[in-house]
Amino acid sequence: MIPRLKDVSPVQSHYLAFIDALRKTGFEGELNPDYANRTVLATDNSIYQVLPQAVIYPRHREDLQRLTRLISQPDWHSIVISPRGGGTGTNGQSLTDGIVVDLSRHMNRILEINAEEGWVRVEGGAVKDQLNAALKPHGLFFAPELSTSNRATIGGMINTDASGQGSVMYGKTRDHVLNLSTVLLDGTLLETGALDETRLAEAKAQPGLTGRVHQTVDDIHQRRQQDIEARFPKLNRCLTGYDLAHIRDDQGQFNLNNILCGSEGTLGFIVEARLNVLSIPKVSALVNVRYDSFETSLRDAQTLMQARPTSIETVDSRVLELAKGDIVWNTVAEYFPSAEGEIVNGINLVEFTADDDATLEAGVKRLTDSLDALQGQPGKCNGYSVAWGNKAVNQIWGMRKKSVGLLGNAQGEARPVPFVEDTAVPPENLADFIMAFRKVLDDEGLTYGMFGHVDAGVLHVRPALDMKDPEQVKTVRRVTDAVVELVQQYGGLLWGEHGKGVRSEFAPAFFGDLYPELQAIKRAFDPHNQLNPGKIATTAPELKLLAIDAVTLRGDYDRTIPVESWSYQSEAMYCNGNGACYNYDPNDAMCPSWKGTRERKHSPKGRASLVREWTRLLGEQGQNTQSLAAAEARRMPLLHWIPRAWNTWRRERGDYDFSNEVYESMSGCLACKSCTGQCPIKVDVPEFRAKFLHLYYGRYLRPLKDYFIGTLEFVIPWLAKRPFKWVYNGLLAAKPVQWFLEHVAGMVDSPRIHRHQLGSLMHKLGIDWAEADILQGLPAAERERSVVIVQDAFSSFFDTDTVADILRCLQQLGFRVWVLPYRANGKPLHVHGFLKTFTWVAKRRQRDFAELEKSGIPLVGIDPSMTLAYRSEYKKYLEGDVTPVLLLQEFLGQRLSQLESLQSRFKPGTVKLLGHCTEKTNAAASMKDWQSVFSALGLTLEHEAVGCCGMAGTYGHETRNKGTSATIYDLSWRPLLENQPAEQWVATGYSCRSQAQRQQGVTLKHPLQYLADRFTG
């Protein structure tokens, strides 16, 4: 049994007192000193892990003013705080051992769009893609681009002065900031923007911090203008944090925005920004140029620039190979053909944008003419493809963005880590610089993938290191020092894109005698060094900045996790915190529990962080999860009822156990598997969650609902028999039973058993049960046209008519259909951590399949999620081969010519597909397969981007999830289906169809039901 984990790092008493005092000021947001929140917010995407004392989520700017007014009082000068947005920093930018102040949860609204004047007002916690989605209907966009655009916040972008692809054309975030509203440390709201001399004089005369910061910065500008001019490099990626070179803007006006941009949360809280927005270019194209070496692609980029493109990005072969192995490749493969024997080691992605086709075509022609003329010559390209249109271009950029994350998905213990990943040099020096950089890495024997914004001279690289190994950790210092020297030699910067964070260490050397001026600015804004201290500049000469090897590393924690636990729960261990699972997009499958709660602990990253810490704490008590799980599997749960009941009683009495905090996070997971498919590192929450529950329930009693859900697949065939069915359905309709189920058993809106029996419907269709010996005895031709349908409990017993329609459609398509007698699949057992029983069920089911497989007739499942369990969960728990069970569209997709021959027998029509999250994210081709099937029959099926429906098997039927399930539905499905005719949609998942019915009263059909209705005979 897992021991109780009662000893976690305690919150320091003066922080607890501060939080108490803050609560008394009327602070309306959440104040979380719990260990789960602290653990989840202890990491970003860097190599560091710093445990905060608390995490707080301000509800509005008044909360921040309450916080800052309190903290500036002498009693609280020892309290330190750090603002946080998406937490995607790569160098510990938002990490603190004080209080994390996360603005992304509540302060994330888009306040005003002025399309006529081309600006927008947003709160600091709004996400960049969220802003662009709101601007799109106006034909506008916020131009600075970054790979993390679906989760990085505007506040984070301003504070790191973010930029990325397209920066040569569009500049950095700073270039688009018009006005900022910043809460200063004394609670003042500072409004900044370009000031003429009169307004500057007025600002300097203001009392308090406002006057002081204006005086200080203006004084620096007046005294040090020439030194600044001499010291700051003339790069597209100009130096921020603090950008002394732009105290006065290009028009000569004083502008504090330029100091705040890139200040990394060290000067104040950006609560609101007025931003300049641009018209979306109407048309775009991307020329994808292939090279046999990365060096050639880098050197050729300078020539490509002569065609005056919007941007040029380079990726190396490693990045390309990683993309090829990911679900994302499906959308872009056609643009990267390679001829027989062609070696592709570098690609330049050259983008052209314009407002009309003629200008666009002329731009592309400028480039392709020169490529055609030189193709195949030494130092030139092998070939190219052109992707025309915004959709194709965005798909390729999507692949490029994702490949940044994919770089982290190396196998083995050495994983790519960021520490020298965003150097910038003048573009003309880039190729030479990269060759020298590669030598540093090669001499260390490191592996790495590279890509970069070649037009801006920015290189991205993450060398692979096992940060658990103290020897390899030393490489960070050696390589960083060598790269610092190189950037100086080539006239560039170590911090070309992602900001400084703990790399602020190198600031004093870089700024030289200007560094004290940075300290003066810091002192003016933050007299007591309380805001994200140790980054950018300290307030006094004797105070030291953080250093790259003087901050706790995540590896320091990971190293203490027992190796057995590390490998047993490997699905959680390699999360690198890149935050792709914080995707804001409601129409994307990842991650419904995070979107429904906006709590970071209810995200894949949150859950992975908690399980890592949990295994570490167990390790401190001499326990490893692998042995604990094996022991648990040997135990008879009933015999251990008494100790579990005792522990449960003590839990209810309030005895602290960190396992309960982990449990709270795990039980919010829908087990939709979107993380399993979409996380670039393939973090698999349902798997490590099942393992956690298996152990957790060895210590505590399970809730009653788990037994209902776990046994449902076994009892349902009996309940579905007459007269039990009528009794069961009758009971479910009775109010007292509903009350009992909801309040005692923990289940709501349990579905009724269908009035029809599948057996009778099959009989009407002339369909027989599949038996291995009968199938094996069929003549070859008969076997060739046969298919065996593998039933699942949800479809067969609750949605029986749909199953019959599917069988009918398969007959219409010319197949001889057989149905495998029902047996439990076991997925609900896996979801709830009944791993011992699940393994038994899976073995039993696989034995059936193995017999059937001998006939060579394909096995096909109906519900996507249940069907995919045969190839994922089964594979993990069974030894040897697992029989393939296909999705309907996979089976039909392999028989397109047969379908084409039936085209004339189906009425044409167009319908939109609402795919199930598990199939969309775990079976890469599944949506395209449906489209091919429909198109072979002369019909059109459009894939609709939609998020999770909030049901996910039984999640939506659990009382504790009732509210979140509805919230998730409202995020994406409800607005899509609102006031739309139900006939225009089809949905593959039983859960999705039943949730649409339950939440909105909409009856959706399965794609094959739709086809069956269009059959003309």
Ligand X SMILES: Cc1cc2nc3c(=O)[nH]c(=O)nc-3n(C[C@H](O)[C@H](O)[C@H](O)COP(=O)(O)OP(=O)(O)OC[C@H]3O[C@@H](n4cnc5c(N)ncnc54)[C@H](O)[C@@H]3O)c2cc1C
Task: Give the residues lining the site for ligand X (CB under 6 A).
Answer: 44-45, 82-90, 93-94, 103, 124, 146-148, 152-153, 155-157, 159-160, 162-164, 264-265, 269-270, 404-405, 497-499, 532, 578
Tokens matching residue 540: 């006094």
Residue 465, amino acid: L
Answer whether the bond into residue 586 is a cis peptide, omega within 30°.
no
For the chain, how big is the Rg over CA atoms in Å? 30
Nearest CA to 674 among 992, 916, 331, 989? 916
C-alpha 251: how far from chain center: 41
Which CB, 53 or 593, lies closer to ligand SF4?
593
Region class of 822: left (phi > 0), else alpha (psi between -120 and 50), else beta:
beta
Among 176, 453, 462, 605, binds ligand SF4 (CB under 6 A): 605
Long-range contacts for 739-744 (Cβ within 8 Å, ≥24 apart)? Answer: 742/959, 743/959, 744/704
Binder of residue 532, out of ligand SF4, ligand X, none (CB less than 5 to 8 A by kind): ligand X
Q: Residue 608: which of ligand X, ligand SF4, none does it interact with, CB under 5 to 8 A by kind?
A: ligand SF4
- Residue 681 binding partner per list ligand X, ligand SF4, none, with a CB distance cut-off of 5 to 8 Å that depends on partner kind: ligand SF4
Number of shown-chain residues binding ligand SF4 (CB under 6 A): 27
Q: What is the DSSP letter of 530?
A: -
Candidates 114, 75, 99; CA nearest to 11 is 99
Stretch that binds ligand SF4, among 271-279, 573-581, 786-794, 981-989 (CB under 6 A): 573-581
Contacts of 737 (CB under 8 A, 6+ apart): 731
What is the number of the residue whose Cβ is closest to ligand X? 156
Q: Is 535 in the site for ligand SF4 (CB under 6 A)?
A: no
| Cβ distance to ligand X smaller for residue 503 or 832 | 503
Rule CB under 6 A: is residue 772 a binding residue for ligand SF4? no
Give the separation between CA 46 and CA 62, rounded to whole angstroms. 31
576 is an interface residue for ligand SF4 by CB under 6 A: yes
Residue 407 CB, shortest distance to ligand SF4, in Å, is 12
Shortest distance, position 889 Cβ to ligand SF4, whole Å? 22
Is residue 467 near ligand SF4 by the rule CB under 6 A?
no
Task: Give the closest residue to 692 by CA, choosing from 632, 621, 637, 650.
Answer: 632
Determine which helix (DSSP H) or strand (DSSP E) holds 236, and give its type and residue range.
Answer: none
List, in sequence order, every residue forming a beta bridge with 450; answer none if it has no partner: 461
Q: What does 164 bind: ligand SF4, ligand X, none (CB cut-off 5 to 8 Å by kind)?
A: ligand X
Q: How far is the CB of 313 from ligand X (least distance, A)?
A: 10
**Contact by Cβ (8 Å): 420, 480:** yes
* Minimum CB distance to ligand SF4, residue 310 (Å): 29
The smaller minimum CB distance to ligand X, of residues 45 and 615, is found at 45
Residue from 100, 580, 806, 986 in contact with ligand SF4 (CB under 6 A): 580
In 3D space, the residue among 322, 309, 314 whose CA is nearest the CA of residue 293 turns out to be 314
In the complex, least distance from residue 596 CB atom to ligand SF4, rounded to whole angstroms: 9
Question: Contacting ligand SF4 (CB under 6 A), which of 19, 322, 410, 608?
Answer: 608
Footprint (CB under 6 A) of ligand SF4, residues 673-712? 673-675, 679, 681, 683, 685-686
Nearer to ligand SF4, 431 or 608 (CB): 608
Q: Does 591 bind ligand SF4 (CB under 6 A)?
A: yes
Tell me the pairing of strands 189-192 and 177-183: antiparallel
Given 263, 480, 578, 855, the residue binding ligand SF4 (CB under 6 A): 578
Closer residue to ligand SF4, CB minimum distance, 405 or 463: 405
Q: How far apart are CA 830 and CA 84, in angstroms?
A: 36
**Residue listed under structure tokens 């029986």:** 800
What does the chain come to in residues? 1017
Nearer Cβ to ligand SF4, position 395 or 676? 676
Alpha helices (runs of H) in 145-207, residue ranges in sequence order = 154-160, 167-170, 197-204
Cβ(627)–Cβ(691) below 8 Å: no
Among 298, 464, 553, 575, binds ligand SF4 (CB under 6 A): 575
For residue 404, the partner it binds in ligand SF4, ligand X, none, with Cβ less than 5 to 8 A by kind, is ligand X
Count how many Cα atoms sit within 13 Å of the Cα of residue 935 in the half-sphere of its side chain.
Answer: 9
Residue nearer to ligand X on the CB measure, 88 or 965 = 88
- Here the tokens at position 41 are 């917010």
Stretch that binds ligand SF4, among 107-115, 283-291, 599-607, 868-876 (CB under 6 A): 599-607
Q: Which of 185/807 has CB closer to ligand X?
A: 185
Amino acid at residue number 515: Y
Nearer Cβ to ligand SF4, position 85 or 492?
85
Which among ligand X, ligand SF4, none contacts residue 683 (Cβ within 5 to 8 A by kind)?
ligand SF4
Each residue 638-677 as x (binds ligand SF4 by CB under 6 A) or -, in order, gives -------------------------------xxxxxxx--
Name the residue with tokens 């940060």: 467
Beta strand 450-453 with 311-316 is: antiparallel
Dist CA 789 CA 308 (whole Å): 57
Considering CB distances under 5 to 8 angstroms, the limit depending on partner class, which of ligand SF4, ligand X, none binds residue 591? ligand SF4
Between CA 1017 and CA 1015 the distance in angstroms is 6
Q: CA 515, 519, 521: angle at the middle one, nearest 5?
A: 115
490 binds, among ligand X, ligand SF4, none (CB under 5 to 8 A by kind): none
Smaller CB separation from ligand SF4, 45 or 132: 45
| Burial bucket for residue 504 (CB in 10 Å: 0-12, 13-18, 19+) | buried
Q: Which does 122 bind (CB under 5 to 8 A by kind): ligand X, ligand SF4, none?
A: none
Of residues 127 and 261, the one with the C-beta less far from ligand SF4: 127
CB of 225 to ligand X, least distance (A): 27
Q: How far lies 984's CA from each of 189, 943, 1002, 1010, in Å?
A: 51, 12, 12, 10
Stretch that binds ligand SF4, among 387-395, 585-593, 729-737, 822-830 (CB under 6 A): 585-593
Place of tokens 């995540």: 554
- Residues binding ligand SF4 (CB under 6 A): 575-581, 590-593, 604-605, 607-608, 669-675, 679, 681, 683, 685-686
